[in-house]
Structure 1
Amino acid sequence: MTDDDTPTELPPLLTLRDGLPPVVETDADLAAAAAAIGAGTGPVAIDAERASGYRYSSRAYLIQLRREGAGSFLVDPIPLTSLAPLSEALAGTEWILHAATQDLPCLAEVDLHPDALFDTELAGRLLGYPRVGLATLVETLLGYRLAKEHSAADWSTRPLPGPWLEYAALDVEVLLELRAIIGEELEKAGKAEWARQEFEYLRGFVPTPRVDAWRRTSGVHRVRGRRALGAVRELWTARDEIAERRDVTPGRILPDAAIVAAATALPTDRDALLATKGFHGRGAERYSSRWVEALRRAAEMDESELPVRTPRGDGPPLPRAWAEKDPVAARRLVLAREAITALAEELVLPVENLLTPDYLRRTLWTPPSTREPARLLAAVGEQLAGYGARPWQIELTAPVLTDAILTADAEPVVAEPVDAPADEPADD
């Protein structure tokens, strides 16, 4: 056997150092757990498990915590009267989370709000790690394998199986160590202040409600005509109402493919609907009257009530249309993208973490009116701040955008169409 044929030795599998803690599911147990956590020292590792793919709601069905001097805790929020004792114990502490935007909303639902936080995933991005999943960072930085086989489980299940609970406890087992190592790396890289600003911004994170969420129906791009598009909207809305009432993920009632099939065929009665090729799902027949009613509404709508293919948004047009609508703006975008990409590579950062692409596009489509360099630089910084860019991002990118604006405006160009990068949606 050659050296190339030698099998790679896998890192050891992470195991619980203190054994599996009992589930906190009574108010008395919560009071004891909160007292222990409050008596601990240092930051608190926190994670939450939801039932995505099974439930309509995004509520937390299990909350895991670990603190030095206190140990690990598994809190079931469902049977508890209130999490106020836990909230009091966490007051003034730093929370360590991985991918904080996923957990903060469901923790806020149970009135848990951080006074300070550290996001190991975001910190990994700022450090330029190519893969920032928790299991990957644990293996890379701590030398352990982290099993993830229960990540897509239905956490609304009761009682929760032992292997699931062990998986959940392991997710906070290493966050304290991970935070210490990554925090040190941020300091060495000169990115600690960037991270501090990002974490402070995250602390006030509120998910942006999706406008016209029905447009994200898988396969909607295959639907032809505004009336069929209206049928997608009505079917999607009816399904969403049922799913919310039953607290079931919508796709388990009627798949997106079934909505598209019905909207394309536009059947007018129950028999025709159930005979439509591609119309299937657990709720296809059970809620057939609701689907027929939704299709009827779409069929009877006035033309003015039907949705358009691409609604007019409040932002700039898609970049591919810039050259035709405003060649100078298209040139600004090309110049700025090239410079921002080069800067991100130099700083070992993902481009989207250096500056949110939407902020860049909005600034370049409608830049400040002044062209006096110092005033323009200040105005670009103010504009970026208004969109939500952090001070460290503004300091690094406002000069780049200012140069792009001045260069594009000073040199007459015949702009070629701007290709949309992978993060931009294509036309329906």
Structure 2
Amino acid sequence: MTEPEIQLLLEPREGIPPVIEDDAALAAVVRAFAAGSGPIAVDAERASGYRYSGRAYLVQLRRNGSGTALIDPVACPDLTALHEAVVDHEIVLHAATQDLPCLTELGFRPRRLFDTELAGRLLGYERVGLGTMVEVVLGLRLEKGHSAADWSNRPLPMDWLRYAALDVEVLVELRDALSAELTSSGKLEWAMEEFSSILAAPAASPRSDPWRRTSGIHRVRSLRGLAVVRELWTLRDEIAREIDLAPGRVLPDSAIVQAALDQPRTTKALTEIAPFTGRSARRHLRSWLTAVTRGRTLPDPDLPQPMGPGDGPPPANRWADRDPAAARRLAAARAVIAALADEHRMPTENLLQPDAVRRLTWEPPADLSEESIVARLAELGARQWQIALTAVPMAKALQRLDAKSTG
């Protein structure tokens, strides 16, 4: 059997549209998309790894009867009118959780969603990147080469704009094909529940002590070293925010960790740590040294303390030593989830969130009844379709394990 021929999709059907950069042009887009029909394909390009903020630097849309629009949200930062024009219609995104925050900042807040990446996961596709999905499902190959570009550049090169327009060129067609697959496999209602859950999710809360996520911090064993990490991380964050540059481009994590280990006392000693001689870092040498000195000389009561236990279970690899019974419950629950995920052709993490499985088995309900497992999973944020598939099999597995241990 020969493989179907893949068709290269090199240009948008109507060509590359002009970038929308003023209110009059944006108003024309609003009218065009209000007059179109069917779902609206949407994508956003950010400058992750280049800029401090997660804002959008280009927004792409396409709708049947409206064509494709490329909007510069730096020049047109308020998309409220566009949101109001299409608010009652379905918005199609690929990996929606990545783009929704920056779209929300612009006043564009979908009320109905279809996420083609999540649909692919529920259908059991092994690779769910947009290019792969378009190729496998539609037989079209997209030109993919600028996803990691610095989209804050102005003017945007024409080949970048071509890439951006192609990202929404066949997104609705992909949505239609995946919707048909979801329907035929009995998974459409599951997907709809997942999409609604994404839209209803609250904004992420700021992390507590975000400096503790510095890469390589595990090498720093002393409290004074941790204080230096905290001082340098905080200073770097202030500088990065002020100049809108990704923190790692101001000073890499490796430099912060090495300074915490060496605790240099002079600028000469500081510059012996290579990243501090980089163009961006060198501008702030005195400030870096002041931060190191401050961390090194803090009074003992002001030193950061080692992290205490979180509000959840410990890492699963420690369960066997800390609570062997919980470790056995976790293994039994994971076996149930793995079997069900295989039966329904989807990743285990989409069938039921791993954190819910861990919390359920670390502190299970006292009676392990089906009703109690259902209630506990609901408390842990499991969706109704997930509970319907997993609660009874997990309750039975945990009951059998409990009977063995008490028998």
Alpha-carbon distance in structure 1 between the residues aligned to 2:257 and 2:224? 12
Which residue does 2:398 correspond to in 1?
Answer: 405
Q: Can you list the C-alpha shifts for 1:14-73, whole angstroms capped at 9, x where unaligned?
A: 421111111111111111110000000010000001111110000111110000011100
Structure 1 residue 273: deviation in Å? Answer: 1.2
Match 1:79 to one of 75, 81, 89: 75
Query: Contact 2:251–2:275 at 8 Å: present in 1 too?
Result: no
Alpha-carbon distance in structure 1 between the residues aligned to 2:59 and 2:301? 48
Structure 1 residue 309: deviation in Å? Answer: 4.5
TM-score (norm 1): 0.90
Structure 1 residue 321: deviation in Å? Answer: 2.0
Closer/same/farther in 2, CA of residues 388 and 219 from structure 1, 3 Å limit: same
Where 2:195 maps in the other structure, the secondary structure is helix
* Structure 2 unmatched runs, 5+: none
Which residue does 2:377 correspond to in 1?
Answer: 384
Alpha-carbon distance in structure 1 between the residues aligned to 2:383 and 2:176? 24
Match 1:234 to one of 226, 231, 235: 231
Which residue does 1:330 correspond to in 2?
Answer: 327
Which residue does 2:388 correspond to in 1?
Answer: 395
Alpha-carbon distance in structure 2 between the residues aligned to 1:278 and 1:408? 54
1:213-224 mapped onto 2 (5 Å cutoff): 213-224=210-221
Closer/same/farther in 2, CA of residues 7 and 323 from structure 1, 3 Å limit: closer
Is residue 57 from structure 1 mapped to residue 53 from structure 2 by the alignment? yes
Which residue does 2:23 correspond to in 1?
Answer: 27
Query: Contact 1:258–1:281 at 8 Å: present in 2 too?
Result: no
Aligned length: 404
Alpha-carbon distance in structure 2 between the residues aligned to 1:277 and 1:55? 23
* Structure 1 unmatched runs, 5+: 1-5, 414-428
Alpha-carbon distance in structure 1 between the residues aligned to 2:59 and 2:397? 47
Query: Contact 1:328–1:409 at 8 Å: present in 2 too?
Result: no
Which residue does 1:368 correspond to in 2?
Answer: 365
Query: Contact 2:77–2:106 at 8 Å: present in 1 too?
Result: no
1:163-312 mapped onto 2 (5 Å cutoff): 163-205=159-201, 206-276=203-273, 279-312=276-309
2:43 aligned partner, one-letter code: D
Alpha-carbon distance in structure 1 between the residues aligned to 2:54 and 2:147? 15
Identity %: 54
Name which of structure 1's ranges 293-302 and 185-194 shifts more when overlaid on structure 2: 293-302
Alpha-carbon distance in structure 2 between the residues aligned to 1:347 and 1:359? 19
Where 2:141 maps in the other structure, the secondary structure is coil
Give the RMSD, CA atoms, in angstroms: 2.0
Where 2:144 maps in the other structure, the secondary structure is coil
Match 2:89 to one of 89, 93, 108: 93
Name which of structure 1's ranges 227-236 and 253-262 shifts more when overlaid on structure 2: 227-236
Which residue does 2:99 correspond to in 1?
Answer: 103
Q: Can you list the C-alpha shifts for 1:291-346, whole angstroms capped at 9, x where unaligned?
A: 12221222123444433454320001111222222221111011111111111111
Alpha-carbon distance in structure 2 between the residues aligned to 1:8 and 1:360? 41
Query: Contact 1:262–1:279 at 8 Å: present in 2 too?
Result: no
TM-score (norm 2): 0.94
Alpha-carbon distance in structure 2 between the residues aligned to 1:62 and 1:22? 12
Which residue does 1:138 correspond to in 2?
Answer: 134
Closer/same/farther in 2, CA of residues 277 and 177 from structure 1, 3 Å limit: closer
Structure 1 residue 200: deviation in Å? Answer: 0.3
Is residue 42 from structure 1 mapped to residue 51 from structure 2 by the alignment? no
